[in-house]
Amino acid sequence: MPPKQRQIRMQQQGGLAAMQQLENRSDEELEREQKFKAAAQAILGARAAERYDAKTSREHFRKALAAARPQERMALRRMADASLALAERRPDDLKAAVERLGQAPPSSRQLLLLRFMGIVAPPASAGTFARVRGIAIIVALVVALIAVGTGIAKLIAWPLGGVSTLVAVWLGLLIVIVAIVVLALLGRRRQARAKAAAKTG
C-alpha cells in the first residue's frame, strides 16, 4: 500500500501542533472541530487522499488554509501537495512533496505500487482512454489469476485422478480468493505495525 499521509508529523507551533492529538478522532468529530479547525480539516484532507478522492481532499485543504494562521499556511500547502500527489497517483510528485516536508521519501516499492495504481485506477482527470485501459488491465489480470489458479488446482488434483475443467476453474477461483484474503490480512498487519512504530518513534 501506498504511504499513509496522516502519519506525517508537522512540528509547528499553534493550531497545527494539535494534529497528533486529533488523529484518532472520527471524521464526524473532525468536521465539528472548531478550536483547531485547520488541523482537523488537514487530517480530513489526508484521509480523503488515502481513499484516492482528490476532489474531497482538495476541498478539505482549502478549508484548512482558510482557517490557518499565516505562519501555518506554508506547512499546510506542503502537506496538501503530498496528499494530492497521493490521491492523483503521481509518485514522482509525492516523493518530492514528502521530502519538502522533511520526511523520509516513500520506498521504491511504495512508489512502484502507486504508479501501478495510476495505471489500473487512474484519477477522473486522466481521461476516458486511461480509464478504459485501466479496466482492460484489471480484466486481463483477473483472467490471468484465474488461469493460474486453475492450473494449480489441476496440478493438485492430478495425483488423485484429476478433475474436470469446470471444477478446476471453480477451485482455481477459490484459490485466488483465499490468496488475496491472506495477502490483504498480512498487508493490514504490516500497516498496523508500521503505524505503531511511527507513533512510538
116-148, pLDDT tens digit by residue?
877 777 776 667 787 788 788 888 888 888 888
Q: Report pLDDT digits (tens) over 16-74.
A: 667 878 888 899 999 998 888 999 999 999 999 988 888 999 999 999 999 988 888 99
164 SS3 class: coil
Residues 87 and 10 placed together within one structural domain of the fold = yes
CB atoms within 10 A of CB 106: 20
pLDDT category at 158 given cuts 50, 70, 90 is confident
Residues 87 and 160 placed together within one structural domain of the fold = no
Residues 51 and 90 placed together within one structural domain of the fold = yes
Mean of pLDDT values over 142-163: 82
Residues 20 and 99 placed together within one structural domain of the fold = yes
Residues 150 and 74 placed together within one structural domain of the fold = no
C-alpha 114 chain-centroid distance:
8
> Does residue 121 form part of some domain?
no
pLDDT on residue 63: 93
pLDDT on residue 84: 92
> Does residue 117 form part of some domain?
no
- In whole angstroms, give the CA distance from residue 137 to residue 125: 19
Cβ-contact 61, 83 below 8 angstroms: yes
pLDDT on residue 15: 59
- In whole angstroms, give the CA distance from residue 10 to residue 98: 11
Question: Which range marks the domain in which residue 175 is found?
Answer: 127-200
- In whole angstroms, give the CA distance from residue 108 to residue 157: 39
> Does residue 116 form part of some domain?
no
pLDDT on residue 5: 46
Residues 98 and 142 placed together within one structural domain of the fold = no
**pLDDT at residue 98 greater than cutoff 80:** yes
Which of 83, 107, 77, 90 minimizes the C-alpha distance to 5? 83
DSSP letter string, 82-138: HHHHHHTT-HHHHHHHHHHTTSPPPPHHHHHHHHHHHHHS--GGG-HHHHHHHHHHH
pLDDT on residue 6: 44
pLDDT on residue 123: 72
Task: List phi, psi (to 5°) of 68.
Answer: -80, 155
Instruction: Give the rounded percent of residues in the chain with a pLDDT score beyond 70.
Output: 86
Answer with the one of 73, 107, 141 that is the final residue of a domain. Answer: 107
Residues 65 and 22 placed together within one structural domain of the fold = yes
Residues 98 and 173 placed together within one structural domain of the fold = no
Q: How many domains does the chain have?
A: 2
pLDDT on residue 180: 83
**pLDDT at residue 109 greater than cutoff 60:** yes
